[in-house]
Amino acid sequence: MIHRIYIAKEHAGEQQLKQEIQLVKGKGISGDRNYNESEWNGQNLTLIELEEIDRFNKSFNQHITDSATRRNLITHGIRLNQLVGKTFTINDVKLLGVELCEPCAWLGEQLEKDGLSRKDIVKALVGRAGLRVDIHSDGKIRVGDEIENIADANV
């Protein structure tokens, strides 16, 4: 299920909480900083599991918010790593799970706090920081929508 939705209008800009977003095939989220800026596959949309954010916070006695991860969709109740190489839909929008959205040094720097270095943060989030997705049809996604129709991609 889609737990929360975020966009940012510019790089490193404030994450804006949305109830609904418009997705455009091959371009991304209308109004987001990465709209029509795709330099590589999987740059249209990013997802992360709420469960992984909670796990990180519990493991490191932290209180990072879901928006601090800089992902567009915060999911609940689905293992995103299993969607790599799969097609799926959210509210009839066709999507392709391209690759894991591994943590970068910039994210580590943003989450760095006393007693927890950026290196430790990146290491802790490898394989757990979400999914990069290509958008294969236009449509809207809303908070509460389900991830459905999971199938192997015909790539």
Calpha distance 131→100 (Å, rounded): 4
Residues 69-118 have pLDDT tens digits of 899 999 999 999 999 999 999 999 999 999 999 887 777 777 777 778 88
- Give the pLDDT of residue 80: 97
More confident of the two residues 115 and 133 = 133
Q: What is the pLDDT of residue 35?
A: 93
Structural contact between residues 1 and 145, judged by C-beta atoms closer than 8 angstroms: yes
- Write the pLDDT tens digit of every residue in 20-33: 999 999 999 999 99
Q: What percent of the chain has pLDDT over 90?
A: 67
The whole model's pTM is what? Answer: 0.91
How does the average pLDDT of the chain come out, rounded?
A: 91
- One DSSP character per residue, 83-151 reads GTTEEEEETTEEEEEEEE----HHHHHHH-BTTB-HHHHHHHHTTTS-EEEEE-S-EEEETTPPEEEEE
